[in-house]
Amino acid sequence: MRDPSIVRLDPSELFQTPFVYIAGRGGLPGLVGNEQAERQLRRFVDLGGMIMFDDADLARVGADHVLYRSFYIIDFPAGRARGQDHVLGVQDEGRIKILVMPNDLGGALARGDDGYYRWNCTPGGSVQREWAIRFAVNILLYATCTDYKSDRAHVETLMQSRRGR
């Protein structure tokens, strides 16, 4: 896995990745009101890309969505905090194009130069962090493989494994 990098909204960089994570609070300079940037992001998601924001006002993504089972079976979207039991997003025919994680997933994953995690996960500590890591894996697999796990064969297998828990 390569280190995170800053990606400009230029086709030569943007279309080299299937997943973009936009961090920050408040206005997004260079993005909001920038028609060219909006067109690039629209094209990015139309071609199969996925965007995740840490904070925005969008529609709820239900717990029955394939995002919660793209690799791990997840009951809630863990992050550094545990304030919401759901994620938000913009969907097109069931495919998430924009994902908003209100529980600060980036904060749960962030490490300092010393290799230690930067922030504690509350209220669940290291168990919550493990679920955040698993949810991050689900997000990345969903972004790169979309909804293959929603096929009927996968759903039946997953339901049987849930009954066995």
Domains of the chain with bracketed CATH = 11-163 (3.40.50.12140)
Cis-peptide into 4, omega within 30 deg:
no
Identify the three-state secondary structure at position 84: coil
Q: Mean pLDDT, 10 residues at a time, over the chain (165 residues)?
A: 72 84 64 76 86 72 90 93 88 81 93 96 97 95 75 58 60
* Rounded alpha-carbon distances, angstroms, from residue 81 to 1, 76, 106, 131: 25, 12, 10, 12
Between CA 64 and CA 68 the distance in angstroms is 7
Using CA atoms in the order 140, 147, 8, 133, what is the torsion angle rounded to 10 degrees? -20
Cβ(68)–Cβ(138) under 8 Å? Answer: yes
What confidence score (pLDDT) does residue 162 get? 58
What type of residue is 10? D
Between CA 68 and CA 39 the distance in angstroms is 29
pTM over 0.95: no
